[in-house]
Structure 1
């Protein structure tokens, strides 16, 4: 044992010695923050969605094309292998490495719409769903439509030749790519749209061009191999390299462009890609048809292939049973048995009449089959959403019930459609033979493309052996017996690399090895992926999934959560938090674990994982199994802030005193800012912050003034009443010091309500009330609940036992209040109340300004984002919702004490503000502080926008307000 440890240490020392000169060179151009060698970060950032674990020696973040050219050239010069990573949602191990991992900063999100939307040029960091959003005004979209499109990025979509439910083989990247910028292993750039770049490349890389020509010639001279390649691509196929490029094209530039598609980073880096887009038909209808068995459903698929259908999703009986008990399912779902098989069918058209005709034709074709249960064709959005929810809910359904410590594996094969039924039957037999009794099958039936999902543990050798034997059997069934594809759309990766030769044959596999050697002569590009001579590559480097906590044990580390996380570019995403927390728990439960290593990891996680988590819960909305990583962090904070419980309880009991003290401190800040000036105050307050090791708030010019408005109920009785609960933030905070708008949110809200004819009712002892958010975010759940219950009782009384609506002027307060509501109260945040009540009571004239709109995370979580936008667009003629800011990261008081979180989350904001835009609106007072600071324009509550749209005045001083009131009285 000691010899083994010494050997490992020696290997580590040698590796470090070899790495040192590479790091020195990288740091000559790149900042330290983007050359990551910290052990915890390498573990967290190096994890992808697959069930493989390799920890990179260094992670290098590229900010632009110049960085990529430099990093690749440097790695090549030092003979260091390197791997590219986009979103890390890939499933087959193609984005993990134990060498250099190259990731992209958020600067790689640029796009260009070309030819009126018929083409789009995209950088590899663009999320797939964003690309479609850019194309939506043109009624176009990109062809690939993977299930992970809301999270995966163009780099991964192209590098894996991802497809999806409607894409098939006709609209994947291979079929719709127009051009690329490619960086090769020696740091050379080729732009296939630029004739000069092509000419230069043909000169500098004549050996590569000649090699590609020779590959095409060799295939052309081998009719049997050429026929086999053509046959293989009748199916969806991403196993190995795109050999169809050698028979589909003759120009070597076209050939190498298409060889890059699906090459998984093993041939070069795709710096941008131009797609030929496809039509996005505005009219769609879906139906769910349940057949007696797989055989009849498969025959129906053959018939449907001749019909105007855009997608046909097949689900076997086990798959249907896995979601039968979910809410909103059709009534017949619990009645189905394991023999039943369903088809989810969608048809699309440019107009309603055509769509109706298409659906009628499909129904006529299906009259030849026995269909005991069905949901007929419908375009109703809710019903369609429910039907597709059945299909999309199957993968997480297996994940939700798996045993802790296991992972969910989703495999991806394609059978010739004529063998679809037999293939499914024999797959089900394999499930039984290898005791994968929870396994389900669903997939894209028109292409014979099936996904099967099962759970697998890798903590014991017998489990690893079972998995290896099962995959051997699957490979024989799919690739040998039925001449199908072992990978139809998820990429070869490490998982299928040992089976590429089995599927393709030795001559075709030989071609692939020649391609690899031609593009990557030193084997530095993502080694071990696609081409791997180790027959056990698929069962080595397996990711441990130790039990950690019930809140997160179901996490499969897919990364769907990352796109909406406000801390993902600052510290960790939810996936990465879970990775490190699992490692911490593993060390805690490992006898004789390295105590120093454990302590260091715990210290690292304290900041990266706990302090910088906004705990908004947006991650739960993107998570396939609904995991809210914020709940885990709050649980950890409960212990971390245990010593603060006594003072927290005192503040909760004397909340009105705390509010008063807050106003006094804000007044003091206002006086100092006006007398000393901003620079002096910055030096003084932030100097104190440095001395206290960041324990005091950070000062900045957007700091609010105190709310000087004396909140009072309406003096006169009116027929219409509303209970107004102003948040503690809006009660204590006015606008930023020096603002042209002197009125506080409470003043504007009362004014609006009274002008709309409402009697404003305030809860008793309003200044002592709080929704509990300040305590909930710190894990002080008991104190938070107590404050929430007291608030609810006060609102129940003020509303006359629920008779009157209740307006909360910030959305986070409403969200938290609703989570524990026991009385039947009608609680509204601003946009809801405006839409339901004030639109009818006020004359609204949209202001002719361009305004920014920030949709808070609580608004999104409550499903009110669309509602919020409608209100803004009713009140202003031009509304801009900035991209890539799902949450501002202010997170209660974190904007004061951990301001870097707010800065990171709002980093893309300022550059998106149009010229001449001077106003922003939201519905959370604290969020508006951070947005004001990082945008350069003032952000106010949406209630200010409504006030402007009903008065024509966009900002007002108290003096002007009195003058206006006097004028109105005289009139």
Structure 2
């Protein structure tokens, strides 16, 4: 059913066109979340204020239009989808207020969970919930799902650490429980609602059987249904209301802010992996550990360990474990090292009488700790990586009473065998009896759907009825478990939930069919297709973990959405449907505006680099092969041409003036569809060709200096206070440190191939790369001398797939920290410095080293939040400037008190200077300024 015209007209008057999406590409892109469902919204609205939410809800009430709220879309049970109106959070929901030395924090719903913890880290605190998706999920979703995690348990989830909430109900009314004026007004305007909540609370507490059931259910981890514990834990109606919103999955209202009582984040921790001979022994050990000073106990069955046993870094014994082995990954944390050691002794003493098949003793080494936890964290993606194309990965989430955990584990394994889920694995938060099981499922035939239905019916009967457990421990009910809520809770509790729903959302406009549904088969409808699209991305499970680091998210598409659309295009082609319109839209939104930096691969559980797909598609469309070959063959001439172009631009600036040239170039760039670069004040002046020959008889240690092609042609901008070229500054620093600087022969003809690769000319790119590697091999005397590359993207490209080529390659960060630190004396400056960690620096593993170096050079280092990639992407900053502008839209405010910014990529620095309002330079400028040669 289409949306009412009156509603659409009202929305159009309220929300600007660039924040309303109803075209086929956008609605399809937003029609997916991390679950195995798909609903295509008719309208997507990006909201930027609470006032907008209030008015939208009032419009929706008037015209009976259902709406769904979405934060990050990482939820697993289908709760962030809509076939009506999807309301997504924009940029302006990232507010925070830290109180009482970090003992409380007030957050808006758009804050990513990990960011909240980063703000709290200096105080030794964190928020209680610690979901596995914390690097991607947002506070709105964490609260709405009452998410927990590995260390959170039940005591530290949102429900139990809630100090205050600001919400908007379905009728558009607001309540801020921390604002006395808001509370007073709400009491007056909603007296009947509050009285009804008070009555329901009183009746529930008076019903001894129901109250006992509720308390039992929430002794366990439980997110099935609405939070009925609010009715037995509180008698004040406002407390009941605020806690009902926790875990309500957007079905009772919109959460516009939440205040947490934070928890201590102990700095000292140790982990151990202990493998027991069978499930029973393992689960009996869990019962003992419940009384021990442990912060996390993760159970892994033999199947889950088998799924990761061949991965690098896994203990060798994992491959030889017995068939029935079951392991516990145990972590303990403490405020001091001595207290930690006391705790470890207590834990090991408690486990001493249990037979053990293998074990990795407690270690405090961060590297070893990370390796152990990788066993646990890699299990889910391991299943995703081996699934058949066209199937999806389902991760279910149940709780058994911990005293019955062993029986529950074995019964679940029996169900895997009964329904032929041979690849299924089982792991979980053992202290809470919370088990996750992961399996692959196809939905391409009625038989496959029927198998899934039969399996879920059996799981529901086993967990909810036989064991009195929870069908959803922490992933939220969604539409996945909505048909089973009554089975788990019984009729009285189920009808009570419906009373609450109808009290707070009488017209049923908020997220229908989520948590509560009158459709017993809703969990079998709107199942998401995952058709084959390309080997590069076919393993994508659409979890959304990649999205926070993508510079184009919010401008066009995120990596997840690029894959969703490309999958749909390929499926339509196989069905002989016309894809012309969709592909035309995808060319800009999917291909042209992708920075192709590969940061998405670092966050992806199965390591997918969506940029590789985009480069492949660019290669498919790359029809200027002869031009690319000519440029590769005549590269020195091409560089001369680039310098000439910069000369012309600089002359135009002097002739027309900067403001007029900027306006003219913007017009010309649009008319040429990006073929003519857009000029800005940060545009570099032309650099002179390098002319330098070192002394042949020099006895100083040698370093081969590879100046990237951008460094060779792009000098400082005319407005830059620093007018020395990167080449001169780098050479001066290296010589100050006592090095003899060697330049490769015919340097102007050399290139790493990145400009060709980014445009889809892979063959020409590799030719230039191999040519450069050969020149560097010669210049470094067969790899004897270190090679310093002044731009991190070029370093990264050269270091990939080196094979047997023995070259000692360094980017600026690694060379300075490994070769110059003991040759220079640092005197840090007082002036604040902004640091931009480029994508390539992150890929090279030098992010923290760059930050540490900056802190060695300045007492005040600023690292802007939320900027993972500048979006300049080689030359995209010139040809698609809106990508660069979008990626850096928050930069200026973040660096306003800085005198200078540093980075390790000349092109990135152009965009950073333009949008940051300060000059950005290479790291060497800062290091040179604050150092002197150390006396030898």
The answer (yes or no) to whether the contact 1:316–1:338 under 8 Å persists in 2 is no
- Using the alignment, how far apart are the partners of 1:334 and 1:866 within structure 2? 34
TM normalised by structure 2 equals 0.99
Residue 282 of structure 1 and its aligned partner are, at CA, apart by 0.5
Residue 812 of structure 1 and its aligned partner are, at CA, apart by 0.3
- Using the alignment, how far apart are the partners of 2:665 and 2:836 within structure 1? 29
1:751 paired with 2:751, answer: no
Q: Aligned match of 1:623 in 594, 601, 604?
A: 604
Residue 47 of structure 1 and its aligned partner are, at CA, apart by 1.3
Q: Aligned match of 1:863 in 845, 849, 857?
A: 845
**Residue number in structure 2 paired with 1:456:** 441
1:838 paired with 2:823, answer: no
The answer (yes or no) to whether the contact 1:714–1:754 under 8 Å persists in 2 is no
- Using the alignment, how far apart are the partners of 1:459 and 1:554 within structure 2? 17
The answer (yes or no) to whether the contact 2:736–2:932 under 8 Å persists in 1 is no
Q: Which secondary structure does the structure 1 equivalent of 2:340 belong to? A: helix
- Using the alignment, how far apart are the partners of 2:614 and 2:673 within structure 1? 22
**Residue number in structure 1 paired with 2:659:** 679
Structure 1: runs of 5 or more not aligned: 1-10, 953-971
The answer (yes or no) to whether the contact 1:709–1:744 under 8 Å persists in 2 is no
**Residue number in structure 2 paired with 1:4:** none
**Residue number in structure 1 paired with 2:868:** 886
**Residue number in structure 1 paired with 2:300:** 315
1:777 paired with 2:758, answer: yes
TM normalised by structure 1 equals 0.95
**Residue number in structure 1 paired with 2:744:** 763
**Residue number in structure 2 paired with 1:638:** 619
Q: Which residues in structure 2 correspond to 1:345-364 (within 5 Å)?
A: 345-364=330-349
**Residue number in structure 2 paired with 1:407:** 392
Residue 951 of structure 1 and its aligned partner are, at CA, apart by 6.2
Describe the superposition over 1:687-739 as per-residue Cα deviations: whole angstroms up to 9, x where unpaired.
32233233211111211101136441333613211000000000000011232
**Residue number in structure 2 paired with 1:538:** 523
Q: Which secondary structure does the structure 2 equivalent of 1:338 belong to? A: coil
The answer (yes or no) to whether the contact 2:36–2:78 under 8 Å persists in 1 is yes
- Judged with a 3 Å threshold, the aligned counterparts in structure 2 of structure 1 residues 528 and 800 are, in CA distance, closer, same or farther, namely same
1:925 paired with 2:901, answer: no
1:900 paired with 2:885, answer: no
Describe the superposition over 1:193-243 as per-residue Cα deviations: whole angstroms up to 9, x where unpaired.
112211111111112101101111111221111111111111000000111
Q: Aligned match of 1:730 in 708, 711, 726?
A: 711
The answer (yes or no) to whether the contact 1:711–1:746 under 8 Å persists in 2 is no
Q: Which residues in structure 2 correspond to 1:314-713 (within 5 Å)?
A: 314-591=299-576, 593=577, 595=578, 598-641=579-622, 643-708=623-688, 710-713=690-693
**Residue number in structure 1 paired with 2:694:** 714
Which 4+ runs in 1 deviate beyond 4 A?
A: none
Structure 2: runs of 5 or more not aligned: none
**Residue number in structure 2 paired with 1:958:** none
Select between 928-937 and 678-687 the one with higher mean Cα deviation.
678-687
**Residue number in structure 1 paired with 2:106:** 121
- Using the alignment, how far apart are the partners of 2:403 and 2:452 within structure 1? 28
Q: Which secondary structure does the structure 1 equivalent of 2:584 belong to? A: helix
- Using the alignment, how far apart are the partners of 2:32 and 2:703 within structure 1? 51
The answer (yes or no) to whether the contact 1:309–1:347 under 8 Å persists in 2 is yes
Residue 71 of structure 1 and its aligned partner are, at CA, apart by 1.6
Q: Which secondary structure does the structure 2 equivalent of 1:849 belong to? A: coil
Describe the superposition over 1:406-464 as per-residue Cα deviations: whole angstroms up to 9, x where unpaired.
00000000000111011111111110110000000000000000000000000101000
Residue 29 of structure 1 and its aligned partner are, at CA, apart by 2.1
- Using the alignment, how far apart are the partners of 2:666 and 2:503 within structure 1? 57
Describe the superposition over 1:547-572 as per-residue Cα deviations: whole angstroms up to 9, x where unpaired.
11111111010000000001111100
Q: Aligned match of 1:818 in 796, 799, 809?
A: 799
Q: Aligned match of 1:847 in 814, 829, 832?
A: 829
- Using the alignment, how far apart are the partners of 1:509 and 1:500 within structure 2? 7
Q: Which residues in structure 2 correspond to 1:133-144 (within 5 Å)?
A: 133-144=118-129
- Using the alignment, how far apart are the partners of 1:371 and 1:329 within structure 2? 18
The answer (yes or no) to whether the contact 1:709–1:747 under 8 Å persists in 2 is no
Q: Which secondary structure does the structure 1 equivalent of 2:219 belong to? A: coil
**Residue number in structure 2 paired with 1:263:** 248
- Using the alignment, how far apart are the partners of 1:196 and 1:220 within structure 2? 30
**Residue number in structure 2 paired with 1:956:** none
The answer (yes or no) to whether the contact 1:239–1:500 under 8 Å persists in 2 is yes
The answer (yes or no) to whether the contact 2:834–2:862 under 8 Å persists in 1 is yes
Residue 648 of structure 1 and its aligned partner are, at CA, apart by 0.7
**Residue number in structure 1 paired with 2:130:** 145
Residue 66 of structure 1 and its aligned partner are, at CA, apart by 1.6
Q: Aligned match of 1:229 in 204, 210, 214?
A: 214
The answer (yes or no) to whether the contact 1:396–1:625 under 8 Å persists in 2 is yes
Select between 685-694 and 377-386 the one with higher mean Cα deviation.
685-694
- Using the alignment, how far apart are the partners of 1:688 and 1:103 within structure 2? 35
Q: Which secondary structure does the structure 1 equivalent of 2:463 belong to? A: helix
Q: Which secondary structure does the structure 1 equivalent of 2:152 belong to? A: coil
What is the alpha-carbon root mean square deviation over aligned residues?
Answer: 1.1
The answer (yes or no) to whether the contact 1:321–1:338 under 8 Å persists in 2 is no
The answer (yes or no) to whether the contact 2:690–2:712 under 8 Å persists in 1 is no
- Using the alignment, how far apart are the partners of 1:548 and 1:684 within structure 2? 42
- Using the alignment, how far apart are the partners of 2:801 and 2:774 within structure 1? 12
1:248 paired with 2:233, answer: yes
Equivalenced residue count is 931
Select between 528-537 and 691-700 the one with higher mean Cα deviation.
691-700
- Using the alignment, how far apart are the partners of 2:582 and 2:918 within structure 1? 40
Residue 84 of structure 1 and its aligned partner are, at CA, apart by 0.3
The answer (yes or no) to whether the contact 1:229–1:243 under 8 Å persists in 2 is yes
Q: Which secondary structure does the structure 1 equivalent of 2:830 belong to? A: strand
Q: Which secondary structure does the structure 1 equivalent of 2:825 belong to? A: coil
The answer (yes or no) to whether the contact 1:722–1:805 under 8 Å persists in 2 is yes
- Using the alignment, how far apart are the partners of 1:525 and 1:931 within structure 2? 42
- Using the alignment, how far apart are the partners of 1:488 and 1:734 within structure 2? 58
Q: Which residues in structure 2 correspond to 1:101-250 (within 5 Å)?
A: 101-250=86-235
The answer (yes or no) to whether the contact 1:788–1:820 under 8 Å persists in 2 is no
Q: Which secondary structure does the structure 2 equivalent of 1:246 belong to? A: helix
Q: Which residues in structure 2 correspond to 1:69-108 (within 5 Å)?
A: 69-108=54-93
